[in-house]
Structure formats: structure tokens, C-alpha cells
Amino acid sequence: MPQIVDVAEFLHCPSLILDVRSPGEFFQGHIPGAQSFPLFSNDERAEVGTCYKRQGQETAIELGLAIVGPKLAGFVTQAKALAPDCRVRLHCWRGGMRSNSMAWLLETAGFQVTLLRGGYKNFRHWVRSTLATPKTLAILGGMTGTGKTEILAALAEQGEQVLDLENLANHRGSSYGSLGLPAQPTTEQFENHIALVWSQFNHQRPVWIEAESRRIGLCRIPDEIFQQMLQAPVLQILRSRPKRIEILRQVYGSVKSEQLIEATERLRKKLGGLRTQQAVEAIHQGDLTTAIDLVLDYYDKTYTHDLQRRGVPIHSIDIADASPTASAALLMEKSQDWLITSQPMPISITAT
């Protein structure tokens, strides 16, 4: 018989996770690190579901068996290739027939199987509960081009607790934010990744997070986290405008001009027609310095407005030309005084 465990224990088991839900369900959201191992394809799942509604459970089970039967040997072969040690964790949506059927098959083939009690649905309950756990936050602020991403990475390298939302979202949080990056996850998957990272943080130490809007590209920051971010003090880094332009040139210098122009055109209503045309023309001419300078005014105004709305303590540090490592060290030193009275605040979020 397979071992059935709760979410916390399931996540800490060392074996491979096989998600036996359909590919469509897996794409919408899955446990990070899990391998898609569908019992049914998307079409097959829909067919069985329709049969269940029209003809009842017994007929639907018979149809499911007819679909799965020819696949059994292939499932075993595939599982052995994925998990040569023959140890796996399995789950479906609610910990029901799909995962139990696959567990029976793999145990028959000699596998040691661990099942997730309540399935992925229970994992999602765990995600919501985990995200609502309060932490002491240090919000890293700074206008576009100040190098916040690199400083966050340097903070992590020096042992600080960091939640890099833009990295998890595959987006830099602007009209240009997706350029050169992989496709974004769904918001549900974004939440799953955040929850796993959040669960590992020590609540007695601060968590560094970059100041963000509610959305990062297509991904929405969970309300449980965002409300804590709005209440936390901001440690704002300052750099000269020429230095910021230099940093942005390094980030976007290798991006194709067509992509830069498309991203600039998306800002036309906010930049204004004349400024947009000037920026586009500068990109055509390979003059990224001028193009960036034209666009920065809009982003600076947006950032300043967002910061002023927060109504929290804002501490500024001019890091000039300091490296990310040196900047991180300075922030760590200063934050000991600035965050000493900051405590995690309980929040109340109604999950939908």
C-alpha cells in the first residue's frame, strides 16, 4: 500500500513528483519540480468527464479503463526512465481515482509510492495559508535602472533572505520587461513558486523584496504578500541618471530594435505621441541612450507617485557607482537600524 502523507511531509520527501493530472491542468498550475505524467490527455479527460455527466460514474469508469489499458506498460517504462531508483511521489487533483490507479500500477511494478493526501487541491490550500504567514520585510526601492535586481542577487549571495518576484515571474515589471526572457508562468503557478520560497524563510530575519506594482507583466502578486509589501519600510537606492542609462543599455543593448520599438509603442498613450516618435526614431538610429532618456521620465514619475502613496518610512542611500556586492553590504549595514522596530504585521485576506 502506498504511504499517504500531508503537504508538508510530501514536499520534503526526496523522490520525484509525478503529477498524473491532464497536461492542461498541469500547465495551469503544479507543484514546482513536479513532472507531468498524465493518466489522460486533455481530450481523453474531457471525454470521460462528458461520459460521467451523461451516463453516470460506472460507464465513465469503464471508458477510463478502456482508454488507460493500452497505456499501462508504457507508464511503467516511462516511470522507470524518470525515476531509476523506483521511488516516486504521486498526486492528482483531489487524491482520488487517478492517483490511486497509478499508485497501484507502479507498486505492482516494484515502485515505492507516496501519495499526497487531498491531492493538488490540498496543496493549493497550503499555498494560501503559507502566503498569509507574516514576515518582516525590507522593500528595496529605486528608480528604473538603479540595478535593484543585481543587488538582490548580491544580498542573496551574502546570506540574506530574498524573494525575487521578477525572477519568478520571468518579467522585469515594465513594458520592456519580457524582452529576452522565457514565457511567464500563470498567476497560479507564480503563487506556487512564491509559497515554496516563502515557507523556507526564517520569520526572525528580514525578507528583501523589490518594490513592485500589483502586477508583474501578466502575473499578479498574491494579495497576502502585496499587503505586507505596502506596509513595510522602503530602502531606496539612488544613482545618477547617466549611470542608470548605462545600466539599462547593458540590459537591453542586445535586444532587437523591432522588439524595443514594439514595447515603446505600447507606452504611446502614457508617453505622448511626440515623445514616443522621438524614442522610436532614436532606436531606429541605434541611439539607445537618447531613447532610454526619453522613456525614463515616464517611469520616474510613475515610481515617485507609487512611493508617495505608500505612506511608510523611506530611507535613501546614494550608492553612486558601487558594485552590487558593495551596495548589498551597505544596505545590510544600514538596515540593522532602519528595520529594528519593524515587525511582521498580521493580515486578513479572503481567498477566492
With CA atoms as reference, report the closest residue to 26 among 98, 76, 88, 78.
98
With CA atoms as reference, report the closest residue to 114 among 87, 76, 143.
87
Pairing state of beta strands 215-216 and 219-220? antiparallel
The packing angle between helices 119-131 and 187-199, to 10°, is 60
User: Which cell numbers in the block locate residue 88?
Assistant: 516516486
Catalytic residue among 13, 51, 92, 219: 92
Cα 258 to chain centroid distance, Å, stands at 27
Radius of gyration of the chain (CA): 25
How would DSSP label each residue in 29-44?
---TT-EE--SS-HHH
Conformation bin of residue 286: beta by default, left when phi > 0, alpha when psi is -120 to 50: left
Characterize 34-70 residue by residue with b for buried, 16 or more Cβ atoms within 10 angstroms of its Cβ, and e for exposed: bbebbbbeeebbebbeebbeeeeeeebeebbeebbee
Alpha-carbon distance 207 to 194, whole Å?
A: 13
Alpha-carbon distance 220 to 223, whole Å?
A: 8
Active-site residue flag, 86:
no
Residues involved in catalysis: 92
